[in-house]
Amino acid sequence: MSDIPIAPGTRIGHVHLKVADLDRAIGFYVGVLGFQLMQRFGTQAAFLSAGGYHHHIGLNTWESLGGSSPPPGSTGLFHTAILYPERADLADALRRLIAAGIPLDGASDHGVSEALYLRDPDQNGVELYWDRPGAEWPRDAAGKLAMFTARLDLKALLAA
């Protein structure tokens, strides 16, 4: 194992999700969250983007057409986290969820970020969040990051 850290500019470029019904998944990610459909491969796959990137989310039915969600207690993806640039953008996402009647599993203030937690139509976990500026992140007396979990005030978020 190496003690040399990964390059600081490294980031996760996209997530590719197995879904049971491609049109239903597109309806959620495009129709509710507002991603753009960049390319579709018939009834088997689609690639979605924010801002014209080739894709941030891939959806496919290659191994999952008509399939069921993983049962509780199994391994797999906990959630996909979608980072919004500003707090007002997260508020817009919350308005979209409310309008579509999509319930939240939770909503948290982590000090460094504010986050909404929910499930997509295939019961994949989804986190929608925005990061506060780094200068506002909570730190302990030694200057180390001191994240926490507190209840997020949804009314205050909607006012953003």
Distance (Å, whole) CA 47 – CA 101 = 25
Q: Quick check: is 8 in a domain? A: no
**Same structural domain, 136 and 101:** yes
Q: What is the pLDDT of residue 70?
A: 87
pTM, 2 dp: 0.93
What pLDDT, in 10s, does the model give residues 77-135? 899 999 999 999 999 999 999 999 999 999 999 999 999 999 999 999 999 999 999 99
Long-range contacts for 130-139 (Cβ within 8 Å, ≥24 apart)? 130/83, 130/84, 130/85, 130/86, 130/87, 130/89, 130/90, 131/83, 137/111, 137/112, 138/111, 138/112
**Same structural domain, 19 and 92:** no
**Same structural domain, 87 and 55:** no
Q: What is the pLDDT of residue 2?
A: 82
Q: Quick check: is 74 in a domain? A: no
**Same structural domain, 29 and 95:** no
Helix (H) or strand (E) holding 115: strand 113-119
Q: Which of 77, 73, 53, 54 is closest to 64 using CA atoms?
A: 77
Distance (Å, whole) CA 78 – CA 71 = 12
For 14-28, give one letter per residue: b (16+ CB within 10 A) or e: ebebbbbbbeebbeb
User: What's the structural domain count of the chain?
Assistant: 2
**Same structural domain, 139 and 83:** yes
**Same structural domain, 126 and 92:** yes
Average pLDDT over residues 9-27: 95
Q: What is the pLDDT of residue 12?
A: 87
Domain range spanning residue 156?
79-160
Say which CATH number the domain at 156 has.
Answer: 3.10.180.10
**Same structural domain, 42 and 119:** no
